[in-house]
Chain A
Amino acid sequence: MKLIPCPDLGPRPRNEFDYGGEVRRPPLDADDKCWAEYVYNRSGQPGVLREWWYHRPTGNWYVFERDTQRDEFLISIPLKEVQYALPSDETTA
């Protein structure tokens, strides 16, 4: 049974989580070519990846950095660090 070190709850079984994929930031002001690359391309090679993980029992999202070759969870990242402003946020501010 693999465990994920949840920063709020301590180690939890991995199957309580859904994988949300790589953390990425969209190029909000970009042409079609940039958007196509953002939509489809990924950091496919092995290494440390910053990823979204959804904890189903609590409904919370977490961000972890994981070694995708050794399957080791390294650190958890506070959500503040991956937030970004949307253009609509700026115009209504």
Chain B
Amino acid sequence: YQRGVEIHQKTAVTAIVEKDGRVTGVQTNRGFIQCNKVVSMVAGSTPRITSMLGLQTPIEIFPLQACVSEPVKPFLDTIIVSGSLHVYVSQSSRGELVMGASVDPSVLHSTRSSFDFVEELADKMLDLFPFTGRLRVMRQWAGMSDITPDFAPIMGKTPVEGFYLDAGWGTWGFKATPVSGKTMADTVVNDRNHELIEPFRFDRFREFDLVGERGAASVGH
């Protein structure tokens, strides 16, 4: 408990309470939290939260899968990304090849990984590095990517007063966390979108003013 922050684990939000178009609190499985500002930054779980307020968004959830091979002696000291094969590979400090491709083709709210993914990935990896043909895949996993139509995030105020969103980052955004944290904090405190995140406002879809995000990974542009 430093700087006035509390972290409540195993506490699920079950409803967001609003009155006259503004937030008055959050219902959880461990009790009610009264508040007038709520920030939702839950990535793949965003639609569950926005539907609690009846908020329509363009966000759709697609699994993004990845896998890791058995460890081998170091041979790769860079990350390889192939635009034509649509595959990426790097070697971890444990010697494992970390590999992935693009998001799953259909919507799914689950972190399950599939044989289809590993089969297609192996095909591309063999194109890239035929000598990996006998490497064993040790583990595979998936995350739920919250994808928007322009692959850019949705940040800042929403039509519900006191409810702020930082979502829709999809397959990327880890490196943007420091600046998105800073701009979101400024936005919440002053109740208006920080100028740096104005292009990512919730209303941009209604205004047909999309971003066209070239920074997004693992998606076709």
A residues whose Cβ falls under 8 Å from a Cβ of B: 1-2, 14-15, 18-19, 21, 33, 36-37, 39-42, 44-46, 49, 51, 68-71
Find the A residue at minimum CB distance from B51.
A45
Find the B residue at minimum CB distance from A1.
B115
Cβ-based interface call for B59 (8 A): yes
CB distance from B63 to the nearest CB of A (A): 10
CB distance from B81 to the nearest CB of A (A): 24
CB distance from B54 to the nearest CB of A (A): 11
Task: Known contacts A15-B116, A19-B105; decide if A41 and B51 are in contact (CB<8 Å).
Answer: no
Interface size on B, residues (CB 8 A): 26
Find the A residue at minimum CB distance from B210.
A40
| CA gap between A21 and B50 in the complex, in Å | 20
| CA gap between A44 and B47 in the complex, in Å | 5
Task: Known contacts A36-B205, A36-B208; decide if A42 and B110 are in contact (CB<8 Å).
Answer: no
Interface contact A49-B51, CB-CB below 8 Å: no
Interface contact A68-B205, CB-CB below 8 Å: no
Task: Known contacts A2-B114, A69-B110, A71-B108; decide if A42 and B60 are in contact (CB<8 Å).
Answer: yes
Find the B residue at minimum CB distance from A20.
B106
Task: Known contacts A2-B114, A33-B206; decide if A40 and B149 are in contact (CB<8 Å).
Answer: yes
| CA gap between A32 and B31 in the complex, in Å | 42
Kindly list chain B residues whose C-beta atoms are within 8 Å of the C-beta of A2: 114, 116
| CA gap between A70 and B106 in the complex, in Å | 13
What are 26 A-to-B residue pairs whose CB atoms are below 8 Å? A2-B114, A14-B116, A19-B105, A19-B106, A21-B107, A33-B206, A36-B205, A36-B206, A36-B207, A37-B56, A39-B205, A40-B149, A40-B206, A41-B57, A41-B58, A41-B205, A44-B46, A44-B50, A44-B51, A44-B59, A44-B61, A45-B48, A46-B109, A68-B109, A69-B110, A71-B108
B residues whose Cβ falls under 8 Å from a Cβ of A: 46-48, 50-51, 56-61, 105-110, 112, 114-116, 149, 205-208
Q: How many A-B residue pairs have CB under 8 A?
A: 63
Interface contact A49-B114, CB-CB below 8 Å: no
CB distance from A46 to the nearest CB of B (A): 4
CB distance from A39 to the nearest CB of B (A): 8
CB distance from A32 to the nearest CB of B (A): 8
CB distance from A11 to the nearest CB of B (A): 15
| CA gap between A41 and B112 in the complex, in Å | 26
Find the A residue at minimum CB distance from B56.
A41
Kindly list chain A residues whose C-beta atoms are within 8 Å of the C-beta of B106: 19, 51
CB distance from B65 to the nearest CB of A (A): 13
| CA gap between A41 and B109 in the complex, in Å | 17
Find the B residue at minimum CB distance from A18.
B105
| CA gap between A36 and B206 in the complex, in Å | 5
| CA gap between A33 and B205 in the complex, in Å | 10
